[in-house]
Amino acid sequence: MTNKQQISALMDGESVDQSLISEIEQDLEAQQSWSHYHLIGDTLRGEAPSDPNWDIASKVALALDDEMAHSKVFPFQSTLEAQPSPQQARSKMPAWLSNLTQVGVAACVSLVVILGVQQYSSSETSNVASDSDQLPVLQTIPFAGSAEPVSLTRDSVNTQSNEAKVMEQHRRVNALMQDYELQLRLNRGNE
C-alpha cells in the first residue's frame, strides 16, 4: 500500500498502526494529506468549513509570537474579612429579630415540656382504659409512699396490693386477647 492509502485506511479506522502515526507526525507531506482527507470527508458530509485555510495551531502560534512578554506579574492576594465579635454582631442585629429569637426559644422549650408531660402521663396509663381505670379527681394517696390504714398491719396491705397487681395483669392480658381476636376477625373479612 502506498502512503496515501495507509493514511486513508487509518482515517477509516481499518488499520491502526503506531509506526504510521509516528511517520505522519514527522512527515509534513503526510500531515497535509491527512488534513486534505479530513477536508474532503467534511465536504462530502456537508460540513465544509467556511474558511478552507483554517489552521488554528499556526494562528495561535503566530498570536503568541506577536504578544509581548509579561514582565510584571503580581501574585493574587485575597483579603479575608475579619469575623465580627459577638458584641458587633448584636449591635447590627435589629431589636425585633432579637425578640423574635427569644420568643422562638421559649415556644420550643414549652413545646418540649408539654410533649414530655403528655408522653410521661400516657406511658403510665394502659392502652385499654375503662371508667374504673381513670384517676379520681382528688388523689388521696400521699406522694411520699402508700397510705396505711391504722387498724391493719403492713403485711395485709402488701398482700392486698399484690392481689390487685395480679388482677390488673389478668385484666390487661384479657384485653390484649380480645384485641387480638378482633384483629383476626377483621383480617379474615379483608381476605
Q: What does the pLDDT read at residue 137?
A: 60
Topology at the third CATH level for domain 3-63: Arc Repressor Mutant, subunit A (1.10.10)
Q: What does the pLDDT read at residue 173?
A: 93
Q: Round to whole Å and give the CA distance between 177 and 180.
A: 5
Instruction: Read off the pLDDT of each residue in 8-22 and give the average, rounded to a whole number.
Output: 81
Q: What does the pLDDT read at residue 104?
A: 93
- The answer to whether the Cα torsion of 78, 79, 85, 88 is positive or negative is negative
- Give the whole-number percent of the chain exceeding pLDDT 90: 13
Put simply, whether the predicted model's pTM sits higher than 0.85 gets the answer: no
Please classify residue 7 by burial: count the beta carbons closer than 10 Å to its beta carbon, then call 0-12 exposed, 13-18 middle and 19+ buried: buried
